[in-house]
Amino acid sequence: MPYVPPHKRHSNEPVRPSPVPASVLSKFSRNLHLGGRKKTNEQPARIVYAKDPIWRWFYVGSDGTEDEIPPSVKLVPVSIDSSEWRDGRKPLVLVNTDVGERDSKIGATVGSTPWLSVAEKVEDDIFLAFELAKGGMGHDGSWMEVKPRLVARFGKILFNEHPSFSLESLKDGLVPEITVMRSKKSFYANVPASYMENIRNAAVLKLGFRMEEKDIYYVILSDETRPGSAISCKCTVKEDKRLNMYRVEDKPLRNCVVDISCLDHNVDLRLMVYSKRQPPTRTDSELCDIRKLIDSAVIDPNVKGGLRWPLGMASSGGRYSVCVVWHHVITIYRGPTLRLKVREADRFDFTTGTGEAAREVNLVLKGIGQKLEEEEVERSSVSDMLKDVLKLIWDHFLSADPYLV
Q: Looking at residue 65, which CATH number applies to its domain?
A: 3.20.100.10
pLDDT score, position 25 = 37
pLDDT above 70: percentage of residues in the chain:
71
Q: At what angle do helices 379-396 and 114-135 cross, to 10 degrees?
A: 130
> Worst-scoring range by mean pLDDT, 2-6, 326-330, 340-344?
2-6
Q: Examine residue 106 and state whether it is found in any structural domain, yes or no.
A: yes
22 has pLDDT over 70: no
Q: Choose the most confident range, by mean pLDDT, from 27-31, 63-67, 148-152, 374-378.
A: 148-152
Q: Which amino acid is at 213?
A: E
Contact 123, 383 (CB under 8 A): yes
Q: Which residue has the higher pLDDT, 344 or 87?
A: 344
Cβ atoms within 10 Å, residue 8: 7
> What single-letter amino acid sits at 345?
A
Closest by Cα among 396, 98, 384, 94 to 260: 94
More confident residue, 156 or 71: 156
C-alpha radius of gyration, the chain, whole number: 22
Output the pLDDT for position 328: 97
Do residues 343 and 329 make contact, with C-beta atoms less than 8 angstroms apart? yes
Instruction: In whole angstroms, give the CA distance from residue 184 to residue 159.
Output: 6
**Do the domain assignments include residue 20?**
no
- Average the pLDDT over 114-135 and give the result: 91
Confidence of residue 305 (pLDDT cuts 50, 70, 90): very high
Question: Rounded CA gap, 359 and 345, in Å?
Answer: 6
What confidence tens digit (pLDDT) does each residue in 95-109 have? Answer: 877 755 544 443 344
Beta carbons of 117 and 99 less than 8 angstroms apart: no
* Count of the separate structural domains present in the chain: 1
Assess if residue 30 is contained within a domain: no
Q: How high is the pLDDT of residue 38?
A: 36
Domain membership flag for residue 401: no
User: Who wins on pLDDT, 319 or 94?
Assistant: 319
Q: What is the pLDDT of residue 11?
A: 41
Report if residue 111 sits inside a domain: yes
Q: 10-14, 60-64, 304-308 — which one is most confidently predicted on average?
A: 304-308
Q: What is the band of 7 on the pLDDT scale with cuts at 50, 70, 90?
A: very low
Whole-angstrom distance, CA of residue 227 vs CA of residue 38? 16
pLDDT at 264 over 70: yes
Q: Which residues pair with 316 in a beta bridge?
A: 320
Residue 25's identity, in one-letter code, is: L
Please give the pLDDT value at position 171. 45
Three-state SS for 257?
strand
Is the pLDDT at 325 greater than 80? The verdict is yes
Higher pLDDT, 356 or 76: 356
Assess if residue 175 is contained within a domain: yes
Lowest pLDDT segment from 109-123, 152-166, 196-210: 152-166
Q: Which domain holds residue 279?
A: 44-396
Query: Is 367 part of a structural domain of the chain?
Result: yes
Confidence at 8, pLDDT banded by 50, 70, 90: very low
User: What pLDDT is recorded for position 145?
Assistant: 62
Question: Residue 321's pLDDT is what?
Answer: 94
Contact between residue 261 and residue 114 where contact means Cβ atoms under 8 Å apart: no
Q: Is 41 exposed, middle or buried (0-12, 13-18, 19+ CB in 10 A)?
A: exposed
Residue 392 in this model has a pLDDT that exceeds 50: yes
pTM exceeds 0.85 for this model: no
Q: Is the pLDDT of residue 216 over 90?
A: yes
More confident residue, 377 or 179: 377
| pLDDT tens profile 348-387 | 999 888 898 999 999 999 999 999 988 788 899 999 999 9
Q: What is the pLDDT of residue 276?
A: 82
- More reliable by pLDDT, 103 or 269: 269
Identify the top-confidence range among 76-85, 163-172, 319-328: 319-328
Residue 35 lies in a domain: no
- Inform me whether the pLDDT recorded for 32 exceeds 50: no
What's the mean pLDDT when you consider all of the chain? 78
